[in-house]
Amino acid sequence: MVDLFFLKTFVSAARSKSFKTAAERNFITQPAVSQQMRALEKKLGGKLFQRQGKNIVLTSAGEILLPYAENILHQYKEAQSRIQKMESHYIGTIRTATIYSIGLYDLQPLVRRYLSKHPQVTIQLEYNQSRRIYEMVQNQRIDFGFVAYPKEMPGVQSTVFHNHKLVCVQSPHKRVFSKKTITLKDLNEQPYITFSAKVPTGKAIDNFLKTKNINPHYIQDYENIETLKSAVLIGMGFSIVPKATIQHELKNGDLEIVNVKKMDIERPLAVLMAKDKVLTKAMKGFLSLITKKSI
């Protein structure tokens, strides 16, 4: 009989293409991973991995095993979840994936609060792009996903739990605008640092400016909020960002808000989950905290 833990290690190694990463994810040593894989290969009668440069890749036998292994682990996880739900205990693991800004500025304090109340629960937090997060929810590789500007996707349900106010910011040491309050037209032709159009927030801001016939001078676009803020900090131009992401810089006087008349843009944040997701008591409690309901 094949050990479930060996299958879990196999899937980790297959997905990460690294025995080292598989060891870290499963809290075992790298030699232990190699030993488990040799035992699994002996049990199944076929080589599962082969070297490709610095990485490992699946053999044909490994490719055959992977979907079966994932299905077995998924079935076991569901059985475990149902038992935990029946037992009504706050235990187990909650797997989450989030875009960077939500994870850093919204999720972290909530996770700390939840874990202080339920220390027997483990919350795995992974940072990824929105597109990948939807896929991970659909495939139930995670329990909850966190994105901005949620969209409809097959098999995925979303709940908006917060709205970020978007504000215009600049460096107080190298101002683009001398006035504290301006109009939307004042943004025209001014140096603008923006989110990439690949990012839902960037796409939403671009659409807003286009509907208002506003054309700033695009200097650079970024996918990461921290990189974007760095560009504004050194005076490359102004930007439009979620106010929640610049509290530290405002407090330290590194950035300042410029009030723009009739610029009312909100950024909805949503938690995603599979429509047929079986929730444990721990997951229900976490979801309730996120959506501002009592736990």
> Half-sphere exposure of residue 41, counting CA atoms within 13 Å on the CB side?
16
pLDDT value, residue 59: 96
Q: Report the pLDDT value the prediction gives residue 292, as an integer from 0 to 100.
A: 84
Tokens 């990485």 appear where?
55
Same fold, 4-75 and 163-268: no
Q: Provide the β-strand partners of residue 145.
A: 97, 272
Fold of 86-161+271-290: D-Maltodextrin-Binding Protein; domain 2 (3.40.190)
Q: How confident is the model at residue 88 (pLDDT cuts 50, 70, 90)?
A: low
Q: Which residues pair with 144 in a beta bridge?
A: 96
Contacts 24+ apart (CB under 8 A), 130-139: 130/99, 130/199, 130/200, 132/97, 133/97, 133/98, 133/99, 133/272, 134/272, 136/97, 137/272, 137/273, 137/274, 138/274
pLDDT of residue 99: 94
DSSP string of 184-200, one letter each residue: GGGGTTSEEEEE-TTSH
Determine contact, residues 269/164, Cβ cutoff 8 Å.
yes
Query: If 0-12 CB within 10 Å is exposed, 13-18 middle and 19+ buried, where does residue 247 land?
Result: exposed
Task: Give CA torsion, residues 46, 52, 56, 59, to 10 deg.
Answer: -30
Q: In a 10 Å sphere around its CB, with 0-12 CB exposed, 13-18 middle and 19+ buried, how is residue 248 labelled?
A: exposed
Q: Which helix (H) or strand (E) holds 241?
A: strand 239-242
Are 9 and 28 contacting, i.e. CB atoms less than 8 angstroms apart? yes
Per-residue pLDDT, 115: 93
The whole-number average pLDDT for the span 190-217 is: 95
Is the full-model pTM beyond 0.75?
Answer: no
Task: Compute the mean pLDDT over every residue in the chain, rounded to the nearest whole number.
Answer: 93
| CATH number for the domain formed by residue range(s) 4-75 | 1.10.10.10
Please tell me the distance from the alpha carbon of residue 63 to that of residue 45, in angstroms, as a whole number. Answer: 14
More confident residue, 237 or 53: 237
In whole angstroms, give the CA distance from residue 152 to residue 145: 14
**pLDDT band at residue 293 under the 50/70/90 scheme:** low
pLDDT classification of 86: cutoffs 50, 70, 90: low
- Sequence ranges of the domains in the chain: 4-75, 86-161+271-290, 163-268
pLDDT tens digits for 149-192?
Answer: 999 999 999 999 999 999 999 999 999 999 999 999 999 999 99
Residue 85 pLDDT > 90: no
The CATH T-level fold of domain 163-268 is D-Maltodextrin-Binding Protein; domain 2 (3.40.190)
> What is the distance between the alpha carbons of residues 233 and 172, in angstroms, rounded to a whole number?
9
- pLDDT for the residue numbered 295: 38
